Amino acid sequence: MSGDVNGGEVSPGEAQLAISGVSKHFGGVRAVEAVTLSVRSGELISVIGPNGAGKTSLLNMISGFYRPDTGNIVFAGKDITGARPSHVAALGIARTFQNIALFAGMTVLDNIMLGRHVHMKAGVLSSFIYWGLAQKEEIAHRARAEELIELLELEDLRKQPTSGLAYGLRKRVELARALALDPKLLLLDEPMGGMNQEEKEDMARFVLDVNQQWGTTVILIEHDMAVVMDISDRVAVLDRGRKIAEGSPGEVQRHPDVIRAYLGTAKERREAAAA
């Protein structure tokens, strides 16, 4: 099928997330074309590819922002193809966004507490009627938020409005907010984009910690190949909407189609620059 490298491929039975033959077209643009990808529970898999390869579109289909034109997506045994994003989140899939998407005008803590929203049972009416219960619930969620603040080393920033924070810190707050959902599967869209080397290393460490300590499955979109090859269990490569390879970091790096996709674009870039 797509790609010759099948090392580590997951049989559908043991997959936590099974994406089968998923396509998404926008007018004439085939953003994603018949992509099949399975992810095991607890795995850290990276999705790489040149710009416009369809990585974010694939993520958007998993999290329910796009409805696939064909194919289906099964998570933890449930078909989530075309499910509403809020429903997908409630099932245990959290995400971050390529462009930081924190709630403006709110503090770091408010943002993280919003990530707890899915776990809060008290509704509008009941929170007015059973004041005590809602308060108790609030305290438990606050404790969880504190753990995340500690994990991501945000202690000094709790009450700060996110809009004033440095770029790298805002990315970190966004990760904390996604983790606040206690997700089984975490989708990270370029969490290290635009960061300096030190910030990248910190972020890589946080992602690895979450993956290894809590066993959270991670799907990572990232352009920094050193980071990707360093922390991923497996790598899938997309090019022009198609999956061209999948395997261990070592296998993928040697794969001729991958080399062609990357060097090809580099060559085109050189030609464009020369012209």
Q: How far is the CB of 10 from other proteins (least distance, A)?
A: 25
Tell which residue, 103, 107, 146, 141, has the closest CA to residue 121.
Answer: 141
**Residue 111 in tokens:** 């943002």
The residue assigned the tokens 């491929």 is 9
199 is an interface residue for other proteins by CB under 8 A: no
Binding window for other proteins (CB under 8 A); candidates: 19-27, 59-67, 223-231, 263-271: 59-67
H-only helix segments in the chain: 55-62, 85-91, 108-115, 124-129, 131-151, 167-179, 197-214, 225-231, 249-254, 256-274
Backbone angles phi, psi at 227, to 5 degrees: -65, -45
Binding window for other proteins (CB under 8 A); candidates: 71-79, 120-128, 194-202, 220-228: 120-128
Binding window for other proteins (CB under 8 A); candidates: 13-21, 99-107, 145-153, 192-200: 99-107
Question: Of residues 9, 110, 199, 201, which one binds other proteins by CB under 8 A?
Answer: 110
How many DSSP H helices and E strands does the chain contain? 10, 10
The residue assigned the tokens 């870039």 is 269
Question: Of residues 3, 49, 54, 64, which one binds other proteins by CB under 8 A?
Answer: 64
Taking the least distance from each CB to other proteins, the nearer of 20 and 96 is 96
191 is an interface residue for other proteins by CB under 8 A: no
217 is an interface residue for other proteins by CB under 8 A: no
Q: How far is the CB of 75 from other proteins (least distance, A)?
A: 14
Measured distance between the N- and C-terminal CA atoms of the chain, rounded to whole angstroms: 37
CA distances from 43 to 33, 49, 86, 90 (A): 24, 19, 24, 20
Question: Of residues 9, 138, 199, 201, which one binds other proteins by CB under 8 A?
Answer: 138
Tell which residue, 92, 39, 29, 89, has the closest CA to residue 65.
Answer: 89
**C-alpha span between 181 and 198 (Å, rounded):** 27
76 is an interface residue for other proteins by CB under 8 A: no
Binding window for other proteins (CB under 8 A); candidates: 28-36, 71-79, 109-117, 245-253: 109-117
Taking the least distance from each CB to other proteins, the nearer of 85 and 193 is 85
**Residues touching other proteins: how many (CB under 8 A)?**
30
Footprint of other proteins (CB under 8 A): 63-65, 84-86, 89-90, 94-95, 97, 101, 103-106, 110, 113-115, 117-118, 120, 122, 124, 127, 134, 138, 177, 181
